[in-house]
Amino acid sequence: MELSFSSKDIEFRDEVRNFLANEYPKNVKEKIENGDPLTKEDIVDWHKSLSAKGWMGFNWPVEYGGTGWSPAQIYIFQNELGLAGCPPLIPFGVSMVGPVIYTFGNQEQKDRFLPDILNFDTWWCQGYSEPGSGSDLASLKTKAELVNENGKDYYIINGSKTWTTLAQNADWIFCLVRTDSSGKKQEGISFLLIDMKSPGIEVKPIITIDGDHEVNSVFFTDVKVPAENLIGEEGKGWTYAKFLLAHERFGIAGVGASKRQLERLKEISKDLGDDDLIAKVSQLEIDIMALEFTELRLLSALEGGGNPGAESSILKIKGTEIQQRLTELFVEAAGEFAIPYGGPDGYGSNVKPNGPEYTNDALSKYLNMRKVTIYGGSNEIQKNIISKFVLGV
Amino acid sequence: MELSFSSKDIEFRDEVRNFLANEYPKNVKEKIENGDPLTKEDIVDWHKSLSAKGWMGFNWPVEYGGTGWSPAQIYIFQNELGLAGCPPLIPFGVSMVGPVIYTFGNQEQKDRFLPDILNFDTWWCQGYSEPGSGSDLASLKTKAELVNENGKDYYIINGSKTWTTLAQNADWIFCLVRTDSSGKKQEGISFLLIDMKSPGIEVKPIITIDGDHEVNSVFFTDVKVPAENLIGEEGKGWTYAKFLLAHERFGIAGVGASKRQLERLKEISKDLGDDDLIAKVSQLEIDIMALEFTELRLLSALEGGGNPGAESSILKIKGTEIQQRLTELFVEAAGEFAIPYGGPDGYGSNVKPNGPEYTNDALSKYLNMRKVTIYGGSNEIQKNIISKFVLGV
Amino acid sequence: MNLNFSDEQNLLREQIQKFCNSDYDFYDRENFINTESGFDPEKWKLFADQGWLAMPFSSESGGFDFGPIELSILFEEFGKFLVLEPYLSNVVLSGYILDNSSFDKKNEYIEKLISGEEQISLAYMEQNRNYDFKNITCLLEGTDSLSLNGTKNLVLNGSNADNYLVTVNHNDVTTIVVINKDTEGLSINNFKTVDDRRISQLNFENVSINTDQIVSTGDEAEQLLKDAINYGTLCVSAEAVGSMESCYLKTVEYTKSREQFGQPISNFQVLQHKMVDMFIETELCKSLLYKSMIDMHENNDSKYRSVSALKSQVGISGKKVGEDAVQLHGGMGVSEEMSIGHYLKRFISIDSQFGNSHFHLKKFNNS
Amino acid sequence: MNLNFSDEQNLLREQIQKFCNSDYDFYDRENFINTESGFDPEKWKLFADQGWLAMPFSSESGGFDFGPIELSILFEEFGKFLVLEPYLSNVVLSGYILDNSSFDKKNEYIEKLISGEEQISLAYMEQNRNYDFKNITCLLEGTDSLSLNGTKNLVLNGSNADNYLVTVNHNDVTTIVVINKDTEGLSINNFKTVDDRRISQLNFENVSINTDQIVSTGDEAEQLLKDAINYGTLCVSAEAVGSMESCYLKTVEYTKSREQFGQPISNFQVLQHKMVDMFIETELCKSLLYKSMIDMHENNDSKYRSVSALKSQVGISGKKVGEDAVQLHGGMGVSEEMSIGHYLKRFISIDSQFGNSHFHLKKFNNS
């Protein structure tokens, strides 16, 4: 057993640090440091800087243009991004649809979609949730009907998706659609790639309680999708969706980013000299330490060839609880000065309230973070999973 | 609205205080103050002092020898007992079987049993729980078979009861028994009074984790009980049991006793100068205040002719949580000095560990109090009740 | 001892409930959030016409002599519907100070306040967290001609006020002066609050003040501030209790209608117990509210301590109830178009006002 | 980076597991609780024969040079079965001090300890809560003939010890002396602990001490105490982690077998989620244990801080897991004849030892 990383890993970590110190787009960095909102272009610039470095496929095998990094390297990479305060990676291409395509897609699909993901030339979004199917994803109703027109097969899509993150920026959407309503509900689901420019698609913003436009409803009315956009077999979509869930597990704990926030909170609480807040921050530091070493334990098991199963639901549950808790303590630190609200876009003028700088976005972050215990399988669902698959009850 | 009690109520309160200051048996009082264990005789003396004063039937109507007090007076009486640190009243006679007998019993039963309860000449215990039926009380199996012998009807009892509090002291036990196994499980239950000296009854102690012998198993082997000991109708026992539960609701919050403990904790935490403990004690003081006013609100509704329903489950849930929390904070205050354990009977010698006096019984009280969230319908069951009857889900 | 409301009090509650039920539709409310004032001037007019703005004023000032119990009823009902109108800043805070001051021109301000003609905000906060109205840095200097310099932060409803009651330091004596919004040397920055109210900061640069603008000084001024803030703290706590009740009721309703896995999610025991916890938190806070409002009504010594207990608990419980309500609403909970997230925002805002939960726990312990 | 145990370490764990599984039946254990010593002397002999008592000693002292990782494994497994034998007081606390001291007669004590022939307890606690081994009031006076007066409290396994390592104040220098139990002027009061161990207080009245009884003084003595206590804190925390694991597993097993309302109570979602919480608490504590034991193994500067984080968390989590386990066992949970309540008692005892949860949270923050 040893805590320290190998010299090879340390070299790698320094390389990442060096990149983040020097090549990470300056304008994005500055905005982040000032707490200013990012534009779509900023986000694209940031991802393209990773593409340029060859690091976009940080979790992909070499044969598909990925880095082929070890789990430890992936961990280090994600951790350093968080510690440096980088914007979160948009996961829909590189962490979600990409691995599904290179695992279950055909050669044509791989050639067509993977390079654009690695270059961040295509912005993907995820079409899973529907108004009637949240935690019970398999009950989805969006219908895909196979038709033949002029000798070519198409799916005609009707239905709607909701909570679609950044659909307003997206070029493509990967969807779970119902191709069969007759049997078990999981068995009639297929995995389909849809061009967002297709006629019949309408994107409507959903404004969240922080005042942000991050999520959307996406409506499909007789949208015609070439059958060649089907991934794998018809009716196997549920299998691919579950594969994807397993794939996105790492990094979900967000330890690096949380540690960065924690350091700031430690300074603030000591400056305020508030013993109660100091004790709460200390407890949170212990919680983060425990989470970090839980992730490292799972990582070690993975490196040793083990297969951490539903245990990794802990990472989702505790990781999101900690992310929320951090924002709560910033609000507590801010006191009354949290109340004047600029929202995600700031105060819309140069005049800011007179409170300390950290009070300005304390509440917009708090409100934004309420979603993390709900999405990606709510924490209640995660506990059901642990109950069933770990405890066996 | 007014907080102060009426002058009549204050007069009454002073009368109770005066009694507790002067007539409450001195030897019992001293033992309580020194944290020494009470004998059976001490407990009987204490109750008999109430009987002598005419207060044993504090919650009974005048016609059965009770005080006929208003809900406010009952509240004041129980509160003062708690504040003065009196031993808890043994509820099985006066608060449980007594009201069942005077409400559902026949004249002969009333004449036979009620006076002894009010004089504390009979020590009653409760035969409800069985090894297989805890929260699911209605599934009880102890069988009562009606037989006729020499022209007289008897029930022959076979089965066992468990968690029977102070059965080792009891003269009589009131039991729920199964007289019919054919229909709905609630419908075959009858309410029977059984003399503990009957042949075929065996009492075996259950030692609890605090080392105390407070509860027992009671085994019935062909115990012969005269049919005249049946209360009300055969098969109606479940109805009487539910009536009894409603009747014991008040006082269950234990506010008076908790306030007394709280005052001690406030002194201790300030002496220790431990800010964390002080904050925890302050929070608990607020919790107790909230509980007290919840009880008073229900009391006001009752006095106003209202009928507080399942809401009063709050009193059980929060009252027991507070009782436990108090003992937890004593343990926290005691630190390492909590560890040397005298158990409920003390250290068995004159030598005590060198810690402050309050450390001596901190852990035995903590351990003893673990039961309160389990018995009398566990707190989980109470939440089910609120969910169903208050929230309607 | 009697914890039942009087018939008159019950009638008042019914009256407010009736108004909120018929006139306070959530989607209607949404429209006023984005107007400049942030509330509905017609409703404010209605409040005046109904006499609600006169409620706590003494009869000499043209009021109804209503006290903390009636105000608690009003705010509890307001809380259920997230009422936006600036009752707190005008009637409770400024109104209390004016009504109880020895200021000789107070009636002219009170009259316009009661009639809804003019608004007036209390400016007492400066730079510190959990600000407690002392240690004032706004300096009122000079003897014959007085001049004011300094900054006041977080003035509730500041953008709608015609006048401000401003706490100043005059020769180390706490002094309250009344200042018109159009006074030379006063510049104002307005912000929206997280819960869609308005809040301002006032900058005073050599603002000249006449002695007839002095509302109160010294011990009187400090006592007025202490009591006005205690009153305001009671009212927002009562509001929070009302909001908590709405939250658990709306959550019960939502979970009954939301189906997942072939059944209403209210069937899941974990959600049931969470809702029970929300209910219990609400009831316990309500009990503390009863204690506080009666303590204030009876003017008991314990009134500050009771209010601190209440505010501390409401801070914790409101946040918990609001967060659980959002969680149980799932995605809908974080959607701006549902009311549930707005309750959460109000809870956070209330916890942050007049000293947060831990501040009041300490105050409770030290008093 | 590697958080996997070595083959040798896994083998050690298997060996201990095998022993506990076959020789540590709970009802058997109950018999030893009420003997005078409170443990099974034959098992102690077995520990010696297996070489377990020699584990952490240096090879020069006849040990195996095992470190914090191996001790954590041992204690984690002991925790699963609530092992009573006095390993902590003898091997961990006294053993560490002797082995790492410059005491010239240390080998004679270590040999008898390793062979199981004699026992030795550390007496460092006096009157204060969360005692931190400094501010010693036991006075060792004189220059040629030394005399000791004072009291030591809460000496673990004191009634079984043949000798005591006693911390004393000698001319304001922290000093550790070894004292035989039969020394004149030493009187001993023995108590049972809540978790069925033995604990003593030692009263010294003009006990004469020879200079050859001095084990260590000054900086060395303080460092030894600091490290021995840190070691002990690690070990009881590891033990708590093992106990937590047993608790949630036993609770899962119990709820599956206990039927109420016509079904196993493990079907109730509220109980399921409580058990999931118990599992999560256990895993998180285990992660902190990994961090601590490796920090100590690598002798990193952060080792005291990591152990404080661990101990603080284990105090909270152990209590929570233990209390929930009892609650979910219902009446059986509070019954002395079931093992589950004994786990709770051990958690409370561990939280109270070496500084409780909040003490270590503060220590963590200040270091």
The per-residue pLDDT for range B12-28, each reduced to its tens digit, is: 999 999 999 998 888 89
Q: What CATH number is attached to the domain comprising C76? A: 1.10.540.10
Inform me whether the pLDDT recorded for B250 exceeds 70: no
∠ CA B168-B172-B175, rounded to 5°: 100
DSSP letters for D85-142:
S-HIIIIIIIHHHHHHS--TTHHHHHHHHHTTS--EEEE-B-SSTT--S-S---EEE-
ipTM over 0.90: yes
Position C2 in a domain:
no
Residue A13 is assigned to a structural domain of this protein: yes
Note the pLDDT of residue A248.
66
State residue D97's pLDDT score.
Answer: 98
| Residue C1, in any domain of the structure | no
Please name the residues between 224 and 283 in chain B that touch chain C, using a CB distance below 8 Å: 278-279, 282-283
Contact across the interface for C344 and A209, Cβ inside 8 Å? yes
> Does the residue A34 lie in any domain?
yes
Is residue B348's pLDDT more than 80? no
The answer, yes or no, to whether residue A3 has pLDDT greater than 80, is no
> Is D1 contained in some domain?
no
Single residue among B188, B212, B235 that ends a domain in this structure? B235
- Residues B74-101 have pLDDT tens digits of 989 999 999 999 999 999 999 999 999 9
Instruction: Please check whether residue B2 lies inside any domain of the structure.
Output: no
Q: What secondary structure, in 3-state letters, does D4-64 show?
A: CCCHHHHHHHHHHHHHHHHHCCHHHHHHHHCCCCCCCHHHHHHHHHHCHHHCCCCHHHCCC
List chains adjacent to chain D, taking adjacency as at least 3 C-beta pairs closer than 8 Å: A, B, C
Mean pLDDT within A208-230: 97
**B105 occurs within a structural domain:** no
Residue C236 has pLDDT above 70, yes or no: yes
Instruction: Tell me phi and psi for residue B353, to 5 degrees.
Output: -60, 165
Same domain, D35 and D156: no
Residue ending a domain, among B235, B264, B283, is B235
CA atoms of C14 and B301, how far apart (whole Å): 19
Q: Do residues B371 and B340 both lie within one domain?
A: yes
The number of beta carbons lying within 10 Å of the beta carbon of residue C61 is: 20
Whole-model pTM?
0.96
Q: Which residues of chain D have a CB within 8 Å of the CB of C269?
A: 268-270
Say if residue C26 is in the same domain as residue C63.
Answer: yes
Contact with chain D for residue B314, Cβ under 8 A: no
A269 and A382 share a domain?
A: yes
Strands C163-170, C120-123: pairing is parallel
Same structural domain for residues D239 and D249? yes
Q: Name the DSSP letter for residue B56.
A: T
Q: Of these residues, A15, A248, A321, A328, which one is catalytic?
A: A248
B296 or A322, which is more confident?
A322
- Find the residue in B nearest to D261 (Cα): B136
- Give the span between the Cα atoms of C101 and C199, in whole angstroms: 25
Answer whether residue D122 shows pLDDT above 70: yes
Both B28 and B74 in one domain: the answer is yes
Helix ranges (H only) for chain A are 7-22, 26-34, 40-53, 71-83, 91, 98-104, 107-118, 237-247, 255-272, 275-303, 313-334, 362-368, 379-389
How far is Cα C206 from Cα C209, in angstroms, rounded to an integer?
Answer: 9
Whether residue D314 sits in one domain with residue D204: no
In a domain, C272, yes or no: yes
Contacts of B327 in chain D (CB under 8 A): none
* Mean pLDDT of the A232-261 span: 87
- Report CA torsion sign: C136, C141, C147, C149: negative
Residue C15 within any structural domain of the chain: yes
State the Cα torsion C298-C303-C309-C315 to the nearest 10°. Answer: 90
Q: What domain count does chain B have?
A: 3
Residues of B in contact with A280 (CB under 8 A): none
Half-sphere CA count of A50, side-chain side, radius 13 A: 27
Q: Are B186 and B282 members of one domain? A: no
Across residues C255-281, what is the average pLDDT? 97
Kindly report the CATH number assigned to the domain that includes residue D226.
1.20.140.10
* Domain match, B189 and B279 both: no
Size of interface A-B (CB pairs under 8 A): 3
Q: Could you tell me what percent of chain B has a pLDDT over 70?
A: 98
pLDDT digits (tens, 9 = 90+) for C30-54: 999 999 999 999 999 999 999 999 9
Please report whether residue A281 resides in a domain: yes
Domain boundary among C55, C89, C114: C114
Sign of the CA dihedral running B368, B369, B374, B375: positive
B116 in a domain, yes or no? no
Is B118 inside a domain boundary?
Answer: no
| Residue C153 shares a structural domain with residue C85 | no
Closest residue in B to D157 (Cα–Cα): B340
Q: Are residues B165 and B281 in the same domain?
A: no
Domain match, B211 and B294 both: no
Domain final residue, candidates D218, D238, D269: D218
Do B376 and B262 belong to one domain?
yes
**Could you tell me if B260 and B370 lie in one domain?**
yes
Question: Which residue do the tokens 């007839």 mark?
Answer: C212
Chain-centroid distance, C-alpha A248: 8
In a shared domain, residues B136 and B82: no
Whether residue B349 sits in one domain with residue B255: yes
Place of tokens 């139990």: D181
Mind listing the pLDDT tens digit for each residue in A176-207?
999 999 989 999 999 999 999 999 999 999 99
Given the DSSP bridges, would you call strands A124-127 and B124-127 parallel, antiparallel or unpaired? Answer: unpaired
User: Which residues are paired to B223 by β-bridges?
Assistant: B157
| pLDDT tens track for A349-380 | 678 898 998 999 999 999 999 999 999 889 99
pLDDT band with cut points at 50, 70 and 90 for residue B189: very high
Long-range contacts of D186-193 (CB under 8 A, 24+ apart): D188/D158, D188/D159, D189/B351, D189/B353, D190/D158, D190/D159, D191/B340, D191/B341, D191/B342, D191/B347, D191/B353, D192/B340, D192/B341, D192/D38, D193/B339, D193/B340, D193/B341, D193/D349
Whether residue A306 has pLDDT greater than 80:
no
Task: Give yes or no for A273 touching B (CB within 8 A).
Answer: no
For residue C257, the chain B residue with the least C-alpha distance is: B393
For chain A, the average pLDDT equals 93
Residue range D82-111, pLDDT digits in tens = 999 999 999 999 999 999 999 999 999 999
> How would residue C133 be classed by pLDDT, with cut points 50, 70 and 90?
confident
Same domain for D358 and D224, yes or no, is: yes
D97 plus D46 within the same structural domain? yes
**Least CA distance to C337: which residue of chain A?**
A207
On average, the pLDDT of chain D sits at 96
- Give pLDDT tens digits for A108-154: 999 999 999 999 999 999 999 999 888 889 999 999 999 999 999 99
Does residue D302 sit within a domain? yes
Residue B248 has pLDDT above 70, yes or no: no
**Interval D315-356: pLDDT, tens:** 999 999 999 999 999 999 999 999 999 999 999 999 999 999
Question: What is the C-alpha to C-alpha distance for residues C105 and C165, in angstroms, rounded to an integer?
Answer: 13
Q: Do C237 and C289 share a domain, yes or no?
A: yes
The last residue of one of the domains, among A65, A89, A113, is A89
User: For residue B43, what pLDDT is reported?
Assistant: 96
Domain assignment present for D171: yes
**pLDDT tens for residues C174-214?**
999 999 999 999 999 999 999 999 999 999 999 999 999 99
Decide if pLDDT at A309 tops 90.
no
Give B194-214 pLDDT, tens digit per residue.
999 999 999 999 999 999 999
Among C99-113, D43-57, D126-140, the range scoring the smallest mean pLDDT is D126-140
Residues D269 and D190 in one domain: no
Look at residue A301 in the predicted model and tell me its pLDDT. 83
Find the catalytic residue in B248, B292, B311, B321.
B248
A115-134 residues touching C, CB cutoff 8 A:
129, 132-134
How would residue B249 be classed by pLDDT, with cut points 50, 70 and 90? Answer: low
Asked if C203 reaches chain A (Cβ–Cβ under 8 Å), the answer is: no
> What is the C-alpha separation between C213 and C148, in angstroms, rounded?
12
Among residues C165, C191, C218, which one ends one of the domains?
C218
In a domain, B242, yes or no: no
Residue D118's identity, in one-letter code, is E
Residue B208 DSSP symbol? B
Burial of B40 (C-beta count, 10 Å sphere; 0-12/13-18/19+): exposed
Position A71 pLDDT exceeds 90: no
Q: How far is B43 from chain D (nearest CA, A)?
A: 24
Q: Collapsing DSSP states into helix, strand and coil, what is residue A393? A: coil
Say if CB A277 and CB A322 are below 8 A apart. no
The pLDDT value given to residue A376: 85
Asked whether residue D2 is domain-assigned, the answer is no
> Is the pLDDT confidence value at D247 over 90?
yes
Report the pLDDT value the prediction gives residue A249, as an integer from 0 to 100.
64
Note whether C273 contacts D270, CB cutoff 8 Å: yes
DSSP notation for A181-223: -SS-GGGGEEEEEEETTSTTEEEEEEEBTTS-EEEEEEEEEEE
Quickly state the pLDDT bin for D200 (edges 50, 70, 90): very high
Q: What is the CATH number of the domain that holds D129?
A: 2.40.110.10
**Contact residues, chain B, for D33 at CB < 8 Å:** none
CA distance A74 to chain D (A): 13
- Provide the CATH number for the domain around residue A178: 2.40.110.10
- For residue C348, give how far its alpha carbon lies from the nearest alpha carbon of chain D (Å): 27
- As a whole-number percent, the residues of chain A with pLDDT over 90 amount to 79
D139 near D148, Cβ under 8 Å? Answer: yes
Residue B4: predicted pLDDT: 76
Supply the pLDDT for residue A300. Answer: 84
Range of the domain at A131: 125-235
Confidence band for D134, pLDDT divided at 50, 70 and 90: confident
Are residues C139 and C213 part of one domain? yes
Q: Is position B248 annotated as part of the catalytic site?
A: yes
Instruction: Quote the pLDDT of residue B310.
Output: 81
Do C80 and C144 fall into the same domain? no
**C3 interfacial to chain A (CB closer than 8 Å):** no
The number of domains in chain C is 3
Asked if C82 and C339 touch (Cβ cutoff 8 Å), the reply is yes
Same domain, C271 and C329: yes
Looking at the fold, whether A214 and A261 belong to one and the same domain comes out as no
pLDDT at C132 over 80: no
pLDDT at B376: 85
Size of interface A-D (CB pairs under 8 A): 122
Q: How does pLDDT run across B91-150, given as a tens digit for each residue?
A: 999 999 999 999 999 999 999 999 999 999 999 999 999 998 888 899 999 999 999 999
CA distance A280 to chain B (A): 11
Range of the domain at C83: 7-114
